[in-house]
Amino acid sequence: MVHLHPPRSVWLTLFLLFVAIANGVTAVLALAALLHLEPQVEMSPVETVMMALLCLGNLMCAVAAWYWRRWGVYAFVLLAIPIFFFNLSIRAPFLMTGIGVYVAAKMIYLVRPIWSSFR
């Protein structure tokens, strides 16, 4: 059976690309810091690995949403919770701490009009 999807909106396209690129780059930088290629990071190795895993999770969810998978949207929104608490635990600036929740809300806002196209 062929699934026909409506054209992806420009905003959703840009959003998913931004999320994928930002999380991919952050994960690579975190892993580079873990290998001491970037010594300026002031996080423990456990925190660095956790950040890389959360970023890779967000990247995976963005790719799933790109391919019209509902689980990608659900997981993306659910990942905002541990990301929020992780940012609190590393004493990230206030705006950085809340950005994950904002991005999850933005995802919901962008996919809601075309939710029936997701499978």
Among candidate residues 81, 82, 61, 63, the one with its CA nearest the CA of residue 71: 61
Give the pLDDT of residue 33: 83
Q: By C-alpha distance, which of 110, 84, 78 is closest to 97? A: 84
pTM of the model: 0.86
* Nearest-angstrom CA–CA distance, 58 and 73: 10
pLDDT of res. 52: 93
The answer to whether 51 and 26 are in contact (CB under 8 A) is yes
What confidence tens digit (pLDDT) does each residue in 17-71 have?
Answer: 999 999 999 999 888 888 876 656 678 888 889 999 999 999 999 999 999 999 9
Top-confidence residue, 89 or 34: 89
Position 43 scores a pLDDT of 81
Please tell me the predicted confidence (pLDDT) of residue 38: 60
Q: Of 47, 30, 49, which is closest to residue 38 (Cα–Cα)? A: 30
The b/e string for 45-75 (b: 16+ C-beta within 10 A; e otherwise) is eebbebbbebbbbbbbbbebbbebeeebbeb
Give the pLDDT of residue 3. Answer: 62
3-state SS, one letter per residue, for 3-58: CCCCCCCHHHHHHHHHHHHHHHHHHHHHHHHHCCCCCCCCCCHHHHHHHHHHHHHH
Q: What is the pLDDT of residues 90-102, one digit of tens each?
A: 888 888 888 889 9
